[in-house]
Amino acid sequence: MALSRQQEAFDRWEKAPGNPVCQIDLDADQLIRDRLSAIDPEAGWLSEESRDSAERLTRARLWVVDPIDGTRDYLRGRAGWAVSIALVAGGRPVIGVLDAPGRGEHWRAQAGKGAWRNGVPLRAAARTELAGARVPADSLPQVDRDLAPVAKPNSIALRVAMVAAGEADLVASVRWGHEWDVAAAALIAAEAGAAVSDALGRPLRFNSTSGEMFGVLASAPGIHAAALDRLKARAEAALPR
């Protein structure tokens, strides 16, 4: 539905400065909610395009959804966006799905059973040196010029999935973000053997009261400790005092 309507004329606006949304976001959100509620009507709901409710905290399971992750690319007619869906139980994703129809990609993972793209098993890279690590980025700050930028889709979920596929070695964010941005991709990366944590190296937990987390760091397992060490000062500076 979203792909077929990408070239249409539709309403678009900003929820806040620099935070675009469009009518297709809302339509996709409703479509996904209707379908997932039919699959598991007892699960709670957390989505970027729905009003949050504390009622979800009482549920044993939770759907965590971003109906269009990478809305900027969607609005520009580009392919770097994805539909992100995770089923969370006990604070951890147990099923993760990313659909990137503009790229012809379907990613999925199940806790303890692996991750796949278009049916092909995924495996994170075996890199052990931080220098030269591939990072999806338009440009890198001077302090990180020893890293290697690679093509960056607007969707952060797809950037994390690149680590799962061994097409990138490191994706990092050192600011507060939302659970729906990474719930599905974090499971896909972890099931592909990547190391995944928040910006301080702590395990990611989902279905928090705020629906937020402090950054994400997904990497080839052999460079995770070195990446955390490099980002430590930046992460600590971003935390409220």
CATH of the domain at 165: 3.40.190.80
Q: Is the pTM of this model over 0.75?
A: yes
* Mean pLDDT score across all residues of the chain: 96
Where are the extended beta strands (E) located within the chain?
A: 12-16, 19-22, 44-47, 61-69, 82-89, 92-100, 105-110, 114-117, 120-121, 134-136, 148-150, 170-178, 195-197, 212-219
Low-confidence winner among 11-20, 65-74, 126-135 (lowest mean pLDDT): 11-20
Q: How confident is the model over 165-214, as pLDDT tens digits?
A: 999 999 999 999 999 999 999 999 999 999 999 999 999 999 999 999 99
| End residue of a domain, out of 121, 145, 165 | 121
Structural domain includes residue 1: no
| CA distance to 7, 25, 185, 218, per residue, from 204 (Å) | 36, 26, 12, 11
Structural domain includes residue 129: no
241 confidence band (pLDDT: 50, 70, 90)? low
Task: Provide the domain limits for residue 39.
Answer: 12-121
Residue 240 has pLDDT above 80, yes or no: no
Instruction: Name the one residue in this structure whose structure tokens are 């970027």.
Output: 48
CATH number for the domain spanning 75: value is 3.30.540.10
231 and 145 together in one domain: yes
Structural domain includes residue 232: yes
Q: Give the gyration radius of the chain's Cα atoms.
A: 17
Structural domain includes residue 49: yes
Q: How many domains does the chain have?
A: 2
64 and 89 together in one domain: yes
DSSP letter assigned to residue 102: G
117 and 182 together in one domain: no
Q: How confident is the model over 19-74, as pLDDT tens digits?
A: 999 999 999 999 999 999 999 999 999 999 999 999 999 999 999 999 999 999 99
116 and 155 together in one domain: no
Rounded to the nearest 10 degrees, what angle do helices 179-191 and 156-164 cross at?
10
| End residue of a domain, out of 85, 100, 121 | 121
How far apart CA 3 and CA 67 sit, in angstroms, is 12
How far apart CA 215 and CA 219 sit, in angstroms, is 13
